[in-house]
Amino acid sequence: NAGVTQTPKFQVLKTGQSMTLQCAQDMNHEYMSWYRQDPGMGLRLIHYSVGAGITDQGEVPNGYNVSRSTTEDFPLRLLSAAPSQTSVYFCASSYLQGLIYGYTFGSGTRLTVV
């Protein structure tokens, strides 16, 4: 089992560029989410999805788009990157009922916007 796979692991973008952070899970989890982690801020929820075709905003959604066309994939899109989006991004998944049993996290994508 690969678990939650995030790509790329590292990325440098110029201000205004766009990119997609990929997240895939092979555990048939209904629930998937994206967090960003900044020093001293902990993890902040960006977007989440409770199943294919269903997404919703978290705490800090501005500047990010998501879609969930399949159960396995939950890509995060930055349409016009800004230096404030420099962060480490984590994707996490769980069974919906298994939310009570904790998330499985990917290893993260470290993004720098210059």
Partner 1 sequence: SQQGEEDPQALSIQEGENATMNCSYKTSINNLQWYRQNSGRGLVHLILIRSNEREKHSGRLRVTLDTSKKSSSLLITASRAADTASYFCATDARGNQFYFGTGTSLTVIP
Q: Is 105 in the site for partner 1 (CB under 8 A)?
A: yes
Q: Is 58 in the site for partner 1 (CB under 8 A)?
A: yes
Q: Is 27 in the site for partner 1 (CB under 8 A)?
A: no
Alpha-carbon gap, residue 83 to 93, rounded angstroms: 27
Alpha-carbon gap, residue 71 to 96, rounded angstroms: 12
Nearer to partner 1, 17 or 43 (CB): 43
**CB distance 33 to 93 below 8 Å:** yes
Alpha-carbon gap, residue 58 to 44, rounded angstroms: 8
Q: Is 7 in the site for partner 1 (CB under 8 A)?
A: no
Please report, as ranges, the residues that interact with partner 1 according to CB under 8 A.
Answer: 4, 31, 33, 35, 40-45, 48, 50, 56, 58-59, 90, 92, 96, 99-108
